[in-house]
Amino acid sequence: MIIRKLLACLLLITGCSTLARAQSDAAKPRLSAFTQQYFAAAKKLKDSKARLPEYVYKKINNKTYISAFIKVGDVSQSQLDALGVYIGTRAGDIWTAQIPVENLSSFVTVPGIKYIDLDAPIFPVLDSARKQTRADSAQNGIFLPAPMTGKNVIVGVIDAGFDFTHPTMYDTTHSEYRIKRVWTQKLSGTPPTGFAYGNEMTDSDVIRAQGYDTAILSHGTHVTGIAAGSGYGSNANNRRFRGMAFESDIVLVGIMPAPGEWSVAGESDIIDGMNYIYTYAAAAGKPAVVNLSWGATIGPHDGNSLFSQACDALTGPGKIFVCAAGNNGEDTVHLQKVLTGLDTIVSTFVTFSPYLDTANQKTWVDVWGDSGRSFCLNVKLYSGATAIDSTPYLCVADTAQNYYLVGSNGDTCFVTITMAAPEYNGKPHALLYLYSRVHDNICLNTKSAEAIVNMWEGYVLPPEGYYGYFKKLGYPFAVSGDAIQTVSDIGCTRSAITSAAYTSKTFFTNVAGSVLGYSGAVHGRIAPFSSFGPTEDHRIKPDIAAPGFALASSVNSYDSTYNYGASNYDGIIHIDTIGGRKYPYAMLAGTSMASPCVSGIVAMLLQLRPTLTPDSVKSILAATAITDAYTGTLPADGNTTWGHGKINAYKALRYMAGTLSVENTLTTDPLDCVLYPNPNNGGFTISYNSKTQEQLTVTVLDITGRLVSTQYWFVNTGTNTRQFNTGKLPRGVYFTKIASLSGYNVIRMVVE
């Protein structure tokens, strides 16, 4: 999971940032609320070079750099060079940047930079899974052109806790090592071409000798095993814990530091990791799918964050991005209110995670309005029914303000409110940091004469995420939050394929012979923790659901929490011993596990058709998804729990194979359709009578069988017509294939 974070040290801040106020000067770039927080804190500390906690830094040539997203216009490279700024990924007009801390104040005056958003730290959120998703039939190649195993496809995993030596990283005979590249972003060494930080390893012996990226997690090893593990050593035939795309090439990007390191990972690191994987795949002449099993409650959730814009610019044909929906399906971390002239205020009580120190409670609240409409808010302490202290109402403007509320125990609740009007998406934004040492209830009041406000709560203490809730607490004027719109902000990205999780296993037997179960789990039902959509701009998310509660896969042999008697030992279900080293397989649950199921299946689709785009992948998965008694009948656009249903690898691949091969791999039922005019000049109309809502694939091939074009067509019950244009084609004979799940027609077409 990924949470946008504020500063733990902000309790020391007073006043507001003059740099933030200076943003009224149109010649200077706008600063995000998170960036304004930095300058406010640095000003209070009287240290323009301050390395403040919970921002993202890197050590480059023994010099400290701070990470950022920037949105650019006509910016001078020579001015960036003069400040020592390193540019990493250029995703359209969204760039990742590493800025020397001492030059940050000068950087915000560089002409041509439109927006600066200092990076936010991030953190993380199978034996039966292949059957649940029908991937076993796809791997066996039944009625398919070949076994679908991810061969000649790159599976990239951006994560932490990789065991580079685990036997699942080899092929099924343990003779070929499948990890082709590793970039450990937080370890010193030789960076990849085009980047200024981290260590790239391209030699198999060097990678294996390194062993791991961090020994405090196993998340990355488990995720990689699900997406692409060979399952070697999991049983006699190495199939028990085999992943989806078990013959794919693997590229790993490690984004967490070793214990004791002060640097942390951020969203710009993810974009750089995606760029690195896609660049390697292009050089290798192969398509790639990138998996990210991390998420965020904080953010606008409208697909317009700088991360989302950069992701949309990077993905495309043969470059697919898959991510987890998030694990907040049971958490009331969201609240929406439509404020009008008759109902101008909404009040809720902000609570803290029970898993944090009760003497030092911390959380963040992210409040977003809608374009062109402002709002105001304040924070008030209640001791029982009595309000005992309050901040003033603060209306949205570019500012950072700090307040100290005194509780009934004489101690303090520190409140930092940073605002941007508007943010990068044109919406007013308020970011609150609460650090409480009082025992009183904390009320957040938001008011406006006309606005829709959405707020989300969350907190990070790396590498874990913590959640309090919005609650009524029995106050008649207050409201509680809800669990809708809890799909992560990253998962709201338009080009992302966002995965929900459903229950594929309700109990398991561990390596000690104990049978362990999951309370309340129902086989086939959506996992209770799986986050819900929609996005804030009303798009359906998640896109698809996959097994995620719970899955068996490889874990990091260097992670001591899986040692005998340690905290995670009960989750181990098998141990393979090679060369005297023990390599465990264990159970984990989360949308973090569902996402690599989808990624591995996408690798199978790319094996069959390497030029698939994000939209075409979504269309194929939607058209072939499983619906049952638990999903119910889903609308054509899907719903905010399941997306389009449960992923079906085999049906998706047979659907695709039926559009690409002469042989009928679907059924022999002809479709009721007509193509006209015929002859034509490359433009034509198809009329189709459908018995149901479904997706058609319309493929044009020349007389040699070469693919000319593929287009997808969603149709409704009854008569449907659509015009198609393949562009200017040479004169000759072509074949147009119209295919659905129920059959196909091939129509001879003449182009004059």
pTM for this prediction: 0.82
CB of 34 within 8 A of CB of 121?
A: no
Domain presence at residue 1: yes
Q: What is the CATH number of the domain that holds 700?
A: 2.60.40.3080
Domain-embedded: residue 190: yes
SS3 content of the chain, % helix, strand, coil (to 5): 20, 35, 45
Residues 509 and 436 in one domain: no
* Domain CATH number, residue 170: 3.40.50.200
Short-list 523, 539, 501, CA closest to 641 = 501
Q: Is residue 651 part of a domain?
A: no
How many domains, in total, are found in the chain? 4
For residue 659, being part of any structural domain is answered with no
* pLDDT tens column, 641-686: 999 999 999 889 988 877 333 233 333 346 778 888 888 888 888 9
What is the 8-class DSSP label of residue 30? E
**Which of 440, 461, 482 finishes a domain?**
482
DSSP 3-state assignment of 714?
Answer: strand
Based on the fold, state whether residues 51 and 175 are members of the same structural domain: no
656, part of any domain: no
Angstrom distances, CA of residue 610 to CA of 283, 288, 381, 599, 606: 14, 8, 58, 14, 4
Q: Domain range for residue 619?
A: 129-327+488-624
What pLDDT, on the 0 to 100 scale, is given for residue 663? 32
Q: Is residue 641 part of a domain?
A: no
Does residue 354 share a domain with residue 412?
yes
pLDDT digit string, tens, across residues 94-150: 999 999 999 999 999 999 999 999 987 666 654 557 767 878 778 877 767 788 899
Pairing between β-strand 694-702 and β-strand 718-725 as defined by DSSP bridges: unpaired
541 and 570 together in one domain: yes
Quick one: tokens of 455? 């707020």
- CATH number where 62 lies: 3.30.70.80
Neighbours of 237 (CB within 10 A): 9
DSSP state of 385: T
Domain boundary among the residues 103, 120, 137 is at: 120
- Smallest CA-to-CA distance from 416 within 430, 396, 398 is with 430
Nearest to 311 by CA among 473, 478, 489, 78: 489
Establish if 371 belongs to a structural domain: yes
Radius of gyration over alpha carbons of the chain, in Å?
27
Q: Are residues 451 and 595 in the same domain?
A: no
Single residue among 482, 511, 545 that ends a domain in this structure = 482
In terms of Cβ atoms closer than 10 Å to its own Cβ (0-12, 13-18, 19+), residue 147 is: middle
**β-bridge pairing 673-676 and 179-184:** unpaired
Q: With the C-alpha atoms ordered 551, 556, 557, 560, is the resulting torsion angle positive or negative?
A: negative
**pLDDT beyond 90 at 388:** yes
In a shared domain, residues 70 and 171: no
Q: Is there a single domain that holds both residue 13 and residue 139?
A: no
* 229-238, 369-378, 436-445, 526-535: the lowest-pLDDT one: 229-238
639 is a domain residue: no
d(C-alpha 357, C-alpha 274), whole Å: 36
Same domain, 36 and 114: yes
Q: Are residues 525 and 619 in the same domain?
A: yes
Query: If 0-12 CB within 10 Å is exposed, 13-18 middle and 19+ buried, where does residue 464 land?
Result: middle
What mean pLDDT comes out for the span 42-62? Answer: 76
Q: Where are the alpha helices (DSSP H) in 265-305?
A: 267-284
Helix H segments across 7-75?
A: 18-21, 33-45
Give the contacts of 657 (CB within 8 A, at least 6 positions apart): 143, 144, 145, 608, 665
DSSP 8-class letter at 483: S
Same domain, residue pair 297 and 377: no
- According to DSSP, the residues that pair with 685 across neighbouring strands are 676, 723
Same domain, 163 and 255: yes
For the stretch 292-327, pLDDT in tens is 998 778 899 999 999 999 999 999 999 999 999 999
Confidence at residue 710, expressed as pLDDT on a 0 to 100 scale: 84
CB burial of residue 324 (10 Å; 0-12, 13-18, 19+): buried
Of the CA atoms within 13 Å of residue 751, those in its CB half-sphere come to: 21
Q: Do residues 174 and 60 both lie within one domain?
A: no
Provide the CATH number for the domain around residue 439.
2.60.120.1290
